[in-house]
Amino acid sequence: MLSSELKAFYMVARLGSITLAAKKLGLSQPTVTTQIRNLESQYAVELFYRGGRRLVLSEEGARLLPMVKALLQQEADIEFELRNSGQAQGSLRIAATAPYYILDLVKVFRERLPQVEVAVEIGNSQQVLEMLEDYRVDLAASSQLVEDARLIRRVLGADPLVLAVHRSHPLAQRQAVSIEALAGHCLLMREQGSTTRTLTEQMLAAAGVKVGTLLEIGSRESIREAVLRNIGVSIIARHEVPHNSELKVLVLDDAPVMHEYLYCLKERRQARLPAAFLGVAQEVTGSQF
C-alpha cells in the first residue's frame, strides 16, 4: 500500500515544504523525505523540482496530484463512514482553539452517548480550521470568522479582550487602560494564526503603538504562566484569564469582542455523530445555523 507515501506527497505538494509537511503530518522531516524518495525511486519518476527553499511540482507530480487528492478524499470518506456507522459506538473528532466553550458541549454529548469516543485537539484558529478542511476532524471550534460555502457555522459564545498583568506590574494600579498604555511594555503574544494575536496587532497598528518587546509563546497556558512571573503583559479573552490573586485583569478601552464559532462541513452535518453534537450545541447555546 502507498497510503503513507501518497499522503506525504500530497502534503508536500500542497505546502511546498518538507518541514511544513512533516509538522502537519506529525512526522519527522527525514521520514517525509524518505517517503517521497521511495515513491520516486520505486516508479522512476521525478515528482518535484528541487532548487531553493521551496519544492516545485514537476509535470509528473502535477498530473498525479489531483488523482492523489481524490484518493485521499475517498479514504477519508470511508474512514468517516465507518466511525459513524454503529448505532451506539463510534468516535467523534473535534479541534478547538480553547477548552472553555467546547468542553461544556462535550460533557452533555458524552452524557447522552457514553459509548462514543471523543477526541479533542487544541490548536490556534488557523490550525483547527485546516484540520476540518483536511478531514482530520469532524468539527472545529474557532474564534476566526470564516465565510465559506462548504461550511456551516454556529456562535458558541463571545467575550471581550482584556489586558492581563501581574499584580505588581505598574499598570496594575489602574482599572482600565487604552491600547496606548502598552507602549514600551513587553507584550506576550501567541504564534501567527491566532485570532487573538491578529486582533492585538490590528489594535496596535490602528493606534500607532510600538510595544517595548514582543515575546511569542505558543499556548495560552504558557502565556498565563509568563504573566504570573511578571515577564510581560498580554491581551487575552476575559474567560481565559484564571482566578488568581497574582493576576490583575484590566478593561481594555474599545477592545473588540472575540467570538467563538463551531464549524462543520455541510456534506457531513447529517452524519450520526456530527448531527448529534450539533444538536447539543443548538440546545446549549440557543443559536441557529
**Residue 74: inside a domain:** no
CA 100 from centroid of its chain's CA atoms: 14
The whole-number pLDDT of residue 289 equals: 52
C-alpha cell of residue 238:
476575559
230 with 91, same domain? no
- Phi/psi class of residue 163: alpha, beta or left (left: φ > 0; alpha: ψ in -120 to 50)? beta
**Residue 23: inside a domain:** yes
186 with 127, same domain? no
142 with 263, same domain? yes
Which among 157, 156, 208 has a CA at the least distance from the CA of 182? 208
Q: What is the CATH number of the domain that holds 97?
A: 3.40.190.10
pLDDT band at 278 (very low <50, low <70, confident <90, very high): very high
Residues 44-56: what's their mean pLDDT?
Answer: 81
**Residue 76: inside a domain:** no
Q: What is the CATH number of the domain that holds 58?
A: 1.10.10.10
pLDDT digit string, tens, across residues 151-204: 999 999 888 999 999 999 999 999 999 999 999 999 999 888 888 899 999 999
The torsion of the CA quartet 162, 256, 98, 152, rounded to 10 degrees, works out to 170
Which residues fall within 8 angstroms of residue 9, CB to CB, at 6 or more apart? 35, 36, 39, 47, 61, 64, 68
Of 88-97, 211-220, 247-256, give the range with the top mean pLDDT.
247-256
**Residue 137: inside a domain:** yes
Residue 47 has pLDDT above 60, yes or no: yes
Distance CA 39, CA 185 (A): 52
**Residue 239: inside a domain:** yes
Which among 140, 118, 115, 119 has a CA at the least distance from the CA of 130? 140
200 with 243, same domain? yes
184 with 239, same domain? yes
pTM metric for this prediction = 0.71
**Residue 121: inside a domain:** yes
pLDDT digit string, tens, across residues 31-42: 999 999 988 888
147 with 180, same domain? no
Which residues fall within 8 angstroms of residue 88, CB to CB, at 6 or more apart? 113, 115, 116
252 with 129, same domain? no
230 with 110, same domain? no
Residue 142 has pLDDT above 60, yes or no: yes
pLDDT band at 76 (very low <50, low <70, confident <90, very high): confident
Task: Report the number of distinct structural domains present in the chain.
Answer: 3
pLDDT digit string, tens, across residues 199-239: 999 999 999 998 888 889 878 889 989 999 999 999 998 88
Q: Are 160 and 257 in contact (CB under 8 A)?
A: yes
Residues 57-86: what's their mean pLDDT?
Answer: 83
30 with 96, same domain? no
Residue 52 has pLDDT above 90, yes or no: no
pLDDT band at 49 (very low <50, low <70, confident <90, very high): confident
52 with 109, same domain? no
**Residue 75: inside a domain:** no
Domain that holds residue 239: 159-257
pLDDT more than 70, % of the chain: 96
Distance CA 32, CA 23 (A): 10
pLDDT band at 98 (very low <50, low <70, confident <90, very high): confident
Residues 138-160: what's their mean pLDDT?
Answer: 92
**Which is higher by pLDDT, 289 or 100?**
100
102 with 231, same domain? no
Distance CA 115, CA 90 (A): 8
Residues 140-150: what's their mean pLDDT?
Answer: 92
Q: Which stretch of DSSP H or E encloses residue 62?
A: helix 59-83
**Residue 221: inside a domain:** yes
Residue 15 has pLDDT above 90, yes or no: no
C-alpha cell of residue 126:
488557523
90 with 61, same domain? no
3-state class (DSSP) for residue 26: coil
When the pLDDT of each residue in the chain is averaged and rounded to a whole number, the result is: 88
